Structure 1
Amino acid sequence: MGNLGWYQLLTTWAKKVGGPKQLMLLLAAGGYIIIRPVEAGGKKIFKLIKSKTKQKANKANLKSFIFTENGFGENELLFSKGDRFFVAVTHDDAVLIEKENDDNNPYFVSGEWLKEVSDYDGTI
């Protein structure tokens, strides 16, 4: 390339595309085409991280209860004495719980059944 380096390279590219204005437009368009998907992906990752931290914060605000027995409950819920769970919402006798460190969350269970196998008292 000689001692002209980048200048020679840019002038060569500019000649191939029809001049410096066209080269600048191509560089700007190419940058836009590359940057926009990266920006969109970054925003999605940011939103995902934000929602995960929000879920953890919401879980920290939920009242926790402990199972007082070992057993196998409704909806394939396997629990042991001392396992902690959180009550997310109740409706009539239906209770939505999330068992701590369980990949199969959440579980819908009966409130009356939950009172029998845990220290759940019917309030959240």
Structure 2
Amino acid sequence: MGNLGWYQLLTTLAKKVGGPKNLLLLTAGGGYVIIRTIEAGGKKVVKLIRNKTDNKKVNYLSTHDVNETKVDENGVVFTKGDIFNVIAVDGDSVLIEIVNHNDNPYFVSSNFLKSISNFQ
């Protein structure tokens, strides 16, 4: 390429496309098309990821109201008026989610739940 380097390359390309204005327009137009294509692909990927994570909703077995304020043996505080959703039951152990609690889920004894709520 000689000692002119990039200048010689740009002048050669500009001559092939009809001048420096055309080279600038082609470069800008090509960049716009490439960026919009990448953006559209990125939006599709984000949409697919959101759909995958949104489909992981928990199916609750039942919902119950707490009738009295108590703390179970693990230190979980149940306040009168709280609502909890039953996620799973295994023998005496019940996996629950208390609505508007940050530390969900909790394992609680079914006997304890029966004593403070309408859980059967």
**The TM-score by the shorter chain falls in which range?**
0.5 to 0.7
Q: Partner of 1:3 in structure 2?
A: none
For normalisation by structure 2, the TM-score amounts to 0.61
Distance in 2, Cα, partners of 1:15 & 1:67: 69
TM-score computed with the length of structure 1 as normaliser: 0.60
How many percent of aligned residue pairs carry the same amino acid?
29
Evaluate the alpha carbon distance shift between residue 35 and residue 69 of structure 1 in structure 2; reply closer, same or farther with a 3 A threshold.
same
- The answer to whether residue 23 in structure 2 is matched with residue 12 in structure 1 is yes
Change (3 A) 1:119 1:34: closer
- Residue 67 of structure 2 corresponds to which residue in structure 1? 68
The answer (yes or no) to whether the contact 1:75–1:107 under 8 Å persists in 2 is no
Tell whether 2:43 aligns with 1:38.
yes
Aligned to 2:55: 51
Deviation at 1:113, TM superposition (A): 1.9
Distance in structure 2 (CA, Å) of the matches to 1:91 and 1:75: 17
Aligned CA-pair RMSD? 3.3
Q: How many Å separate the matches in 2 of 1:81 and 1:15?
A: 70
Q: Which runs of 5+ in 1 are unaligned?
A: 1-7, 18-22
Q: Which has the larger radius of gyration?
A: 2
Looking at secondary structure, tell me which structure has more helix per residue: 1
Any gaps of 5 or more consecutive residues in structure 2?
1-18
Counterpart residue type for residue 12 of structure 1: L
What is the count of residue pairs matched by the alignment?
Answer: 102
User: How far apart, CA to CA, are the structure 2 residues paired with 1:99 and 1:46?
Assistant: 26
Q: Is the 8 A contact 1:98 1:106 kept in 2?
A: yes
Distance 1:115 1:74 in 2: 15
Residues 43-102 of structure 1 deviation map (CA, whole Å, 9 limit, x = unaligned): 323444x437x54xx45xx42222222122244421112322121110111101111222
Measured after TM superposition, the shift of residue 30 of structure 1 is 3.9
- For residues 86 and 74 of structure 2, the distance between their equivalents in structure 1, rounded to whole angstroms, comes to 16
Q: Give, in angstroms, the shift of residue 14 of structure 1.
A: 5.8
